[in-house]
Protein backbone atom coordinates (compact mmCIF):
# COMPACT_ATOMS: atom_id res chain seq x y z
CA UNK A 1 0.00 0.00 0.00
CA UNK A 2 1.28 3.46 -0.82
CA UNK A 3 0.35 6.94 0.28
CA UNK A 4 0.43 8.15 -3.32
CA UNK A 5 -2.44 10.63 -3.60
CA UNK A 6 -3.67 8.80 -6.73
CA UNK A 7 -4.68 5.84 -4.56
CA UNK A 8 -7.86 5.70 -2.47
CA UNK A 9 -5.84 5.86 0.75
CA UNK A 10 -3.81 8.74 -0.63
CA UNK A 11 -6.98 10.66 -1.44
CA UNK A 12 -8.16 10.15 2.14
CA UNK A 13 -5.05 11.65 3.72
CA UNK A 14 -5.82 15.37 3.27
CA UNK A 15 -9.01 14.97 5.33
CA UNK A 16 -7.18 12.84 7.87
CA UNK A 17 -4.59 15.59 8.14
CA UNK A 18 -7.31 17.93 9.42
CA UNK A 19 -8.54 15.50 12.07
CA UNK A 20 -7.91 16.91 15.54
CA UNK A 21 -8.67 14.84 18.62
CA UNK A 22 -9.01 16.54 21.99
CA UNK A 23 -7.53 14.74 24.98
CA UNK A 24 -9.11 14.76 28.46
CA UNK A 25 -6.98 16.01 31.33
CA UNK A 26 -8.69 13.55 33.67
CA UNK A 27 -7.62 10.62 31.52
CA UNK A 28 -4.04 11.01 32.73
CA UNK A 29 -4.75 11.03 36.48
CA UNK A 30 -5.24 8.18 38.95
CA UNK A 31 -8.82 6.96 38.68
CA UNK A 32 -10.88 3.94 39.59
CA UNK A 33 -14.42 2.74 40.01
CA UNK A 34 -17.02 3.47 42.66
CA UNK A 35 -15.34 0.68 44.64
CA UNK A 36 -11.87 2.19 44.78
CA UNK A 37 -9.12 4.15 43.08
CA UNK A 38 -6.35 2.26 41.35
CA UNK A 39 -2.95 3.91 41.45
CA UNK A 40 -0.24 4.07 38.80
CA UNK A 41 3.25 5.32 39.54
CA UNK A 42 3.35 7.45 36.37
CA UNK A 43 -0.17 8.88 36.61
CA UNK A 44 -0.43 12.67 36.61
CA UNK A 45 -0.95 14.63 39.82
CA UNK A 46 -1.06 18.27 38.76
CA UNK A 47 -2.35 20.07 35.70
CA UNK A 48 1.28 20.49 34.63
CA UNK A 49 1.70 16.69 34.71
CA UNK A 50 -1.49 16.23 32.71
CA UNK A 51 -0.36 18.71 30.08
CA UNK A 52 3.06 17.02 29.91
CA UNK A 53 1.34 13.70 29.19
CA UNK A 54 -0.95 15.27 26.60
CA UNK A 55 2.05 16.86 24.91
CA UNK A 56 3.69 13.44 24.71
CA UNK A 57 0.62 12.02 22.94
CA UNK A 58 0.59 14.97 20.55
CA UNK A 59 4.32 14.57 19.89
CA UNK A 60 3.76 10.96 18.89
CA UNK A 61 0.55 11.32 16.87
CA UNK A 62 0.54 14.92 15.62
CA UNK A 63 -3.26 15.09 16.01
CA UNK A 64 -3.92 16.19 19.59
CA UNK A 65 -3.16 19.90 20.11
CA UNK A 66 -6.08 20.51 22.51
CA UNK A 67 -6.70 19.40 26.09
CA UNK A 68 -10.11 19.39 27.78
CA UNK A 69 -10.17 20.48 31.41
CA UNK A 70 -12.46 19.91 34.38
CA UNK A 71 -12.99 23.18 36.20
CA UNK A 72 -12.75 21.86 39.76
CA UNK A 73 -9.74 19.67 39.11
CA UNK A 74 -7.46 21.54 36.73
CA UNK A 75 -7.41 25.32 37.21
CA UNK A 76 -4.22 26.78 38.71
CA UNK A 77 -4.17 29.73 41.08
CA UNK A 78 -3.56 32.11 38.17
CA UNK A 79 -6.82 31.10 36.49
CA UNK A 80 -7.44 30.94 32.78
CA UNK A 81 -4.48 33.06 31.73
CA UNK A 82 -2.04 30.84 33.60
CA UNK A 83 -3.75 27.73 32.27
CA UNK A 84 -3.43 28.95 28.69
CA UNK A 85 0.22 29.78 29.29
CA UNK A 86 0.98 26.33 30.69
CA UNK A 87 -0.62 24.72 27.65
CA UNK A 88 1.12 27.03 25.16
CA UNK A 89 4.51 26.29 26.72
CA UNK A 90 3.97 22.66 25.74
CA UNK A 91 2.71 23.36 22.23
CA UNK A 92 -0.92 22.85 23.23
CA UNK A 93 -4.07 24.89 23.73
CA UNK A 94 -7.00 24.51 26.05
CA UNK A 95 -9.97 22.75 24.51
CA UNK A 96 -13.39 22.27 26.04
CA UNK A 97 -14.26 23.63 29.46
CA UNK A 98 -16.09 21.02 31.56
CA UNK A 99 -17.96 22.40 34.58
CA UNK A 100 -18.53 20.17 37.59
CA UNK A 101 -21.99 20.30 39.15
CA UNK A 102 -22.09 16.70 40.34
CA UNK A 103 -19.39 16.43 42.99
CA UNK A 104 -20.19 18.88 45.79
CA UNK A 105 -22.50 17.71 48.58
CA UNK A 106 -25.10 20.35 47.76
CA UNK A 107 -25.79 18.53 44.47
CA UNK A 108 -27.00 15.36 46.18
CA UNK A 109 -30.54 16.00 44.89
CA UNK A 110 -29.58 17.74 41.64
CA UNK A 111 -27.90 20.87 40.34
CA UNK A 112 -29.86 23.07 37.91
CA UNK A 113 -32.87 20.77 38.48
CA UNK A 114 -32.69 20.80 42.28
CA UNK A 115 -35.85 21.58 44.19
CA UNK A 116 -33.76 24.07 46.18
CA UNK A 117 -33.60 27.41 44.36
CA UNK A 118 -30.34 28.30 46.15
CA UNK A 119 -28.69 25.13 44.82
CA UNK A 120 -29.94 25.86 41.31
CA UNK A 121 -28.48 29.36 41.59
CA UNK A 122 -25.14 27.99 42.80
CA UNK A 123 -24.98 25.57 39.88
CA UNK A 124 -25.78 28.31 37.35
CA UNK A 125 -23.16 30.57 38.93
CA UNK A 126 -20.57 27.82 38.46
CA UNK A 127 -21.56 27.43 34.82
CA UNK A 128 -21.24 31.19 34.30
CA UNK A 129 -17.83 31.14 35.99
CA UNK A 130 -16.85 28.35 33.57
CA UNK A 131 -17.83 30.55 30.64
CA UNK A 132 -15.53 33.26 31.97
CA UNK A 133 -12.74 30.73 32.46
CA UNK A 134 -13.14 29.69 28.83
CA UNK A 135 -12.99 33.30 27.76
CA UNK A 136 -9.77 33.81 29.75
CA UNK A 137 -7.96 30.75 28.41
CA UNK A 138 -9.14 30.99 24.80
CA UNK A 139 -11.50 28.01 24.83
CA UNK A 140 -14.41 28.05 22.41
CA UNK A 141 -16.36 25.07 23.77
CA UNK A 142 -18.42 24.71 26.94
CA UNK A 143 -19.12 21.00 27.40
CA UNK A 144 -22.01 20.20 29.73
CA UNK A 145 -22.86 16.91 31.39
CA UNK A 146 -25.31 16.71 34.28
CA UNK A 147 -25.86 13.91 36.78
CA UNK A 148 -29.31 15.30 37.60
CA UNK A 149 -32.16 12.83 37.87
CA UNK A 150 -34.16 10.83 40.39
CA UNK A 151 -33.96 7.34 41.85
CA UNK A 152 -37.59 6.78 42.85
CA UNK A 153 -41.06 7.39 41.41
CA UNK A 154 -42.55 10.60 42.72
CA UNK A 155 -39.18 12.00 43.80
CA UNK A 156 -39.38 14.92 41.37
CA UNK A 157 -41.54 16.58 38.75
CA UNK A 158 -40.04 15.68 35.37
CA UNK A 159 -41.74 18.58 33.59
CA UNK A 160 -40.71 21.16 36.18
CA UNK A 161 -37.12 19.90 36.14
CA UNK A 162 -37.12 20.16 32.34
CA UNK A 163 -38.20 23.80 32.57
CA UNK A 164 -35.48 24.56 35.11
CA UNK A 165 -32.91 23.04 32.76
CA UNK A 166 -34.12 25.13 29.84
CA UNK A 167 -34.02 28.32 31.89
CA UNK A 168 -30.51 27.61 33.16
CA UNK A 169 -29.08 26.77 29.74
CA UNK A 170 -30.61 29.90 28.20
CA UNK A 171 -28.99 32.06 30.86
CA UNK A 172 -25.60 30.45 30.37
CA UNK A 173 -25.85 30.61 26.58
CA UNK A 174 -26.62 34.33 26.76
CA UNK A 175 -23.40 34.87 28.74
CA UNK A 176 -21.14 33.07 26.25
CA UNK A 177 -18.86 35.05 23.92
CA UNK A 178 -19.79 34.84 20.22
CA UNK A 179 -16.92 32.43 19.56
CA UNK A 180 -18.11 29.85 22.11
CA UNK A 181 -20.37 26.87 21.52
CA UNK A 182 -22.34 24.96 24.14
CA UNK A 183 -22.40 21.18 23.82
CA UNK A 184 -25.16 19.36 25.72
CA UNK A 185 -24.39 15.74 26.59
CA UNK A 186 -26.88 13.01 27.47
CA UNK A 187 -26.76 9.73 29.38
CA UNK A 188 -29.57 7.19 29.86
CA UNK A 189 -28.71 6.28 33.46
CA UNK A 190 -26.14 6.51 36.27
CA UNK A 191 -26.02 7.93 38.84
CA UNK A 192 -29.80 8.45 38.52
CA UNK A 193 -31.54 5.11 38.10
CA UNK A 194 -35.24 6.00 37.85
CA UNK A 195 -35.03 8.93 35.46
CA UNK A 196 -32.15 11.06 34.18
CA UNK A 197 -33.05 14.62 33.22
CA UNK A 198 -31.11 14.51 29.92
CA UNK A 199 -31.46 10.83 29.10
CA UNK A 200 -31.13 10.70 25.31
CA UNK A 201 -30.24 12.67 22.20
CA UNK A 202 -33.79 13.96 21.72
CA UNK A 203 -33.86 15.55 25.16
CA UNK A 204 -30.42 17.04 24.58
CA UNK A 205 -31.63 18.35 21.19
CA UNK A 206 -34.69 20.02 22.71
CA UNK A 207 -32.70 21.65 25.50
CA UNK A 208 -29.95 22.79 23.10
CA UNK A 209 -32.58 24.39 20.87
CA UNK A 210 -34.07 26.10 23.91
CA UNK A 211 -30.64 27.37 24.98
CA UNK A 212 -29.78 29.26 21.81
CA UNK A 213 -28.28 29.20 18.33
CA UNK A 214 -24.80 28.15 19.44
CA UNK A 215 -25.90 25.12 21.45
CA UNK A 216 -25.63 21.63 19.98
CA UNK A 217 -25.67 17.99 21.07
CA UNK A 218 -22.64 16.03 22.27
CA UNK A 219 -22.69 12.29 21.51
CA UNK A 220 -20.76 10.07 23.92
CA UNK A 221 -20.28 6.71 22.24
CA UNK A 222 -20.63 4.94 25.61
CA UNK A 223 -23.83 6.68 26.70
CA UNK A 224 -26.44 4.52 24.99
CA UNK A 225 -28.68 1.62 25.85
CA UNK A 226 -27.92 -1.78 24.29
CA UNK A 227 -28.88 -2.01 20.64
CA UNK A 228 -28.94 1.74 20.05
CA UNK A 229 -27.99 2.70 16.49
CA UNK A 230 -25.49 5.48 17.22
CA UNK A 231 -24.65 6.24 13.59
CA UNK A 232 -28.37 6.87 13.01
CA UNK A 233 -28.27 9.52 15.75
CA UNK A 234 -25.08 11.01 14.29
CA UNK A 235 -26.49 11.22 10.76
CA UNK A 236 -29.77 12.72 12.01
CA UNK A 237 -28.10 15.36 14.17
CA UNK A 238 -25.57 16.24 11.46
CA UNK A 239 -28.36 16.76 8.94
CA UNK A 240 -30.11 19.04 11.44
CA UNK A 241 -26.95 21.04 12.05
CA UNK A 242 -27.11 19.98 15.69
CA UNK A 243 -24.14 17.60 15.92
CA UNK A 244 -21.64 19.45 18.09
CA UNK A 245 -19.14 16.83 19.08
CA UNK A 246 -18.22 13.40 20.37
CA UNK A 247 -16.83 11.84 23.48
CA UNK A 248 -15.00 8.83 22.11
CA UNK A 249 -14.68 5.61 24.11
CA UNK A 250 -16.01 2.07 23.89
CA UNK A 251 -18.06 -0.21 26.08
CA UNK A 252 -19.36 -3.73 26.40
CA UNK A 253 -22.20 -3.35 28.89
CA UNK A 254 -22.75 0.35 29.56
CA UNK A 255 -20.52 3.38 30.15
CA UNK A 256 -17.28 1.45 30.46
CA UNK A 257 -14.82 4.15 29.30
CA UNK A 258 -12.82 1.56 27.40
CA UNK A 259 -10.33 2.56 24.72
CA UNK A 260 -11.86 3.48 21.37
CA UNK A 261 -12.54 0.52 19.09
CA UNK A 262 -11.47 -2.06 21.67
CA UNK A 263 -14.91 -3.72 21.66
CA UNK A 264 -16.67 -2.73 18.43
CA UNK A 265 -14.42 -1.01 15.88
CA UNK A 266 -17.02 -1.51 13.14
CA UNK A 267 -19.43 0.73 15.06
CA UNK A 268 -16.86 3.55 15.20
CA UNK A 269 -16.19 3.03 11.49
CA UNK A 270 -19.93 3.40 10.78
CA UNK A 271 -20.08 6.57 12.87
CA UNK A 272 -17.19 8.01 10.89
CA UNK A 273 -18.95 7.02 7.66
CA UNK A 274 -22.01 9.00 8.75
CA UNK A 275 -19.71 11.97 9.18
CA UNK A 276 -18.17 11.44 5.74
CA UNK A 277 -21.62 11.39 4.14
CA UNK A 278 -22.67 14.52 6.01
CA UNK A 279 -19.50 16.31 4.92
CA UNK A 280 -20.14 15.36 1.31
CA UNK A 281 -23.63 16.87 1.54
CA UNK A 282 -22.28 19.99 3.25
CA UNK A 283 -19.33 20.39 0.89
CA UNK A 284 -16.86 20.97 3.73
CA UNK A 285 -15.67 19.55 7.03
CA UNK A 286 -18.31 19.36 9.74
CA UNK A 287 -17.56 21.77 12.61
CA UNK A 288 -17.55 18.89 15.07
CA UNK A 289 -15.40 18.43 18.17
CA UNK A 290 -13.74 15.02 18.34
CA UNK A 291 -12.95 14.47 22.01
CA UNK A 292 -11.74 11.51 24.01
CA UNK A 293 -13.54 10.75 27.28
CA UNK A 294 -11.77 7.81 28.82
CA UNK A 295 -10.45 7.10 32.28
CA UNK A 296 -7.97 4.26 32.17
CA UNK A 297 -7.91 2.30 35.40
CA UNK A 298 -5.75 -0.61 34.25
CA UNK A 299 -3.89 0.44 31.11
CA UNK A 300 -0.98 2.89 31.38
CA UNK A 301 -2.45 6.35 30.80
CA UNK A 302 -0.34 7.67 27.93
CA UNK A 303 -0.23 4.31 26.16
CA UNK A 304 -4.02 4.05 26.25
CA UNK A 305 -4.39 7.55 24.79
CA UNK A 306 -1.92 6.79 22.01
CA UNK A 307 -3.83 3.58 21.27
CA UNK A 308 -7.07 5.54 21.08
CA UNK A 309 -5.75 8.23 18.75
CA UNK A 310 -4.09 5.73 16.40
CA UNK A 311 -7.30 3.69 16.30
CA UNK A 312 -9.34 6.82 15.57
CA UNK A 313 -7.03 7.68 12.68
CA UNK A 314 -7.21 4.16 11.27
CA UNK A 315 -11.00 3.91 11.47
CA UNK A 316 -11.50 7.37 9.99
CA UNK A 317 -9.15 6.45 7.14
CA UNK A 318 -11.18 3.30 6.49
CA UNK A 319 -14.42 5.30 6.43
CA UNK A 320 -12.88 7.71 3.96
CA UNK A 321 -12.18 4.74 1.67
CA UNK A 322 -15.88 4.00 1.15
CA UNK A 323 -16.75 4.83 -2.44
CA UNK A 324 -19.79 7.01 -1.81
CA UNK A 325 -20.70 7.20 -5.49
CA UNK A 326 -20.69 3.42 -5.77
CA UNK A 327 -22.64 3.21 -2.51
CA UNK A 328 -25.31 5.58 -3.81
CA UNK A 329 -25.55 3.66 -7.08
CA UNK A 330 -26.19 0.44 -5.16
CA UNK A 331 -28.80 2.21 -3.05
CA UNK A 332 -30.54 3.58 -6.14
CA UNK A 333 -31.08 0.09 -7.53
CA UNK A 334 -31.94 -1.33 -4.08
CA UNK A 335 -28.94 -3.64 -4.18
CA UNK A 336 -28.60 -4.18 -0.45
CA UNK A 337 -25.76 -6.69 -0.72
CA UNK A 338 -23.65 -4.45 -2.95
CA UNK A 339 -24.26 -1.49 -0.65
CA UNK A 340 -23.14 -3.42 2.40
CA UNK A 341 -20.11 -4.76 0.53
CA UNK A 342 -18.99 -1.17 -0.08
CA UNK A 343 -18.72 -0.77 3.67
CA UNK A 344 -17.22 -4.17 4.40
CA UNK A 345 -14.57 -3.77 1.70
CA UNK A 346 -13.40 -0.45 3.12
CA UNK A 347 -13.46 -1.70 6.70
CA UNK A 348 -11.40 -4.77 5.75
CA UNK A 349 -8.69 -2.64 4.13
CA UNK A 350 -5.46 -2.64 6.13
CA UNK A 351 -4.46 1.02 6.28
CA UNK A 352 -1.68 0.67 8.85
CA UNK A 353 1.26 0.66 6.43
CA UNK A 354 -0.08 3.69 4.56
CA UNK A 355 -0.61 5.59 7.81
CA UNK A 356 2.90 4.69 8.95
CA UNK A 357 4.30 6.24 5.76
CA UNK A 358 2.05 9.26 6.25
CA UNK A 359 3.34 9.77 9.78
CA UNK A 360 6.95 9.51 8.73
CA UNK A 361 6.34 12.09 5.99
CA UNK A 362 5.05 14.44 8.71
CA UNK A 363 8.10 13.89 10.92
CA UNK A 364 6.25 11.57 13.29
CA UNK A 365 7.17 8.05 14.38
CA UNK A 366 5.78 5.35 12.09
CA UNK A 367 4.51 3.43 15.14
CA UNK A 368 3.56 5.91 17.88
CA UNK A 369 2.97 3.27 20.54
CA UNK A 370 6.30 1.55 19.92
CA UNK A 371 8.06 4.93 19.92
CA UNK A 372 6.48 5.81 23.25
CA UNK A 373 7.54 2.51 24.81
CA UNK A 374 11.07 2.95 23.52
CA UNK A 375 11.32 6.53 24.77
CA UNK A 376 11.36 5.73 28.48
CA UNK A 377 8.78 8.48 29.09
CA UNK A 378 6.69 6.46 31.52
CA UNK A 379 9.70 5.48 33.65
CA UNK A 380 10.85 9.08 33.82
CA UNK A 381 7.36 10.28 34.72
CA UNK A 382 7.08 7.64 37.45
CA UNK A 383 10.48 8.57 38.87
CA UNK A 384 9.46 12.23 39.04
CA UNK A 385 5.91 11.73 40.31
CA UNK A 386 6.03 8.81 42.72
CA UNK A 387 7.99 10.69 45.44
CA UNK A 388 5.48 13.55 45.19
CA UNK A 389 2.59 11.13 45.51
CA UNK A 390 4.06 9.55 48.62
CA UNK A 391 4.75 12.97 50.09
CA UNK A 392 1.08 13.98 49.79
CA UNK A 393 -0.17 10.73 51.29
CA UNK A 394 -0.63 8.46 48.30
CA UNK A 395 -1.18 4.86 49.33
CA UNK A 396 1.36 2.74 47.51
CA UNK A 397 2.52 -0.76 48.39
Domain presence at residue 341: no
Domain presence at residue 139: yes
CATH of the domain at 72: 3.20.20.150
Check: pTM over 0.85? Answer yes or no: yes
Residues 6+ apart with CB under 8 A from 241: 216
- The whole-angstrom distance between residue 289's C-alpha and the CA centroid of its chain comes to 8
Domain count, the chain: 1
Domain presence at residue 372: yes
Query: To 10 degrees, what angle do helices 230-239 and 201-211 make?
Result: 20
Domain presence at residue 334: no
Q: What is the pLDDT along the chain (397 residues), one digit of tens a residue?
A: 445 666 777 888 899 999 999 999 999 999 877 778 889 999 999 999 999 999 999 999 999 999 999 999 999 999 999 999 999 999 999 999 999 999 999 999 999 999 999 999 999 999 999 999 999 999 999 999 999 999 999 999 999 999 999 999 999 999 999 999 999 999 999 999 999 999 999 999 999 999 999 999 999 999 999 999 999 999 999 999 999 999 999 999 887 789 999 999 999 999 999 999 999 999 999 999 999 999 888 999 999 999 999 999 999 999 999 999 999 999 999 999 999 999 999 999 999 999 999 999 999 999 999 999 999 999 999 999 999 988 887 554 4
Q: Which ranges constitute the DSSP H helices of 176-300?
A: 201-211, 230-239, 265-282
Write out the residue range of the structural domain in which residue 259 sits: 14-320+367-391
Domain presence at residue 296: yes
Residues 6+ apart with CB under 8 A from 322: 273, 276, 342, 343, 346
- Do 306 and 61 touch, CB atoms closer than 8 A? yes
Domain presence at residue 299: yes
Domain presence at residue 336: no
**Rounded to 5 degrees, what angle do the CA atoms 174, 286, 328 make?**
140
Domain presence at residue 275: yes
Cα separation of 214 and 173, whole Å? 8
Amino acid sequence: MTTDHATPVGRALPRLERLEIELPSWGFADTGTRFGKFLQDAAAITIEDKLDDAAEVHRLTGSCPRVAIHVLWDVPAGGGAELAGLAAARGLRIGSINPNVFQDQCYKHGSVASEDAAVRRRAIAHLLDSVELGRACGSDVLSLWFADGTNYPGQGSVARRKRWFAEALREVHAAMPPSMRMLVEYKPFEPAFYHTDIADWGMAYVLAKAAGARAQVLVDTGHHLPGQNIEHIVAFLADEGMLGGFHFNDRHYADDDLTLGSIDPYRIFRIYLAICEAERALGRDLPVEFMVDQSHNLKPKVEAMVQTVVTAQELFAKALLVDLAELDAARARNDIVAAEECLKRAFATDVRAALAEWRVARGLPADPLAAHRASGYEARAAAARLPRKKAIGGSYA
